[in-house]
């Protein structure tokens, strides 16, 4: 998601999105450890999304 998309969410939706992104990151780490995922860029993008959400939650 883009930064603009996150800004349109209310706090409850942001917390839900944050939880989902953290679950996605956990799953990606397990898949990379098992050798199932070749594209590690998705981890980087997911971490950035988590940071964006945390920034917006702390800002409001």
3-18 pLDDT, tens digit per residue, is 677 778 888 999 999 9
24-51 pLDDT, tens digit per residue, is 999 999 998 888 877 888 999 999 999 9
Residue 52's pLDDT is: 92
Closest CA to 15 of 57, 48, 46, 47: 57
CB 11 within 8 A of CB 56: no
* Tokens read off for 52: 């964006």
State pTM to two decimals. Answer: 0.84
pLDDT category at 60 given cuts 50, 70, 90 is: low
Closest CA to 26 of 6, 13, 2, 42: 42
Per-domain residue ranges of the chain: 3-59
- What fold is seen in the domain 3-59? Helix Hairpins (1.10.287)
């Amino acid at each position: 998601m883009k930064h603009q998309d996150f800004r349109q969410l209310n706090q409850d939706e942001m917390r839900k999105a944050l939880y989902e992104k953290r679950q996605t990151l956990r799953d990606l780490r397990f898949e990379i450890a098992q050798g199932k995922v070749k594209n590690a860029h998705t981890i980087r993008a997911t971490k950035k999304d988590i940071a964006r959400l945390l920034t917006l939650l702390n800002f409001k």
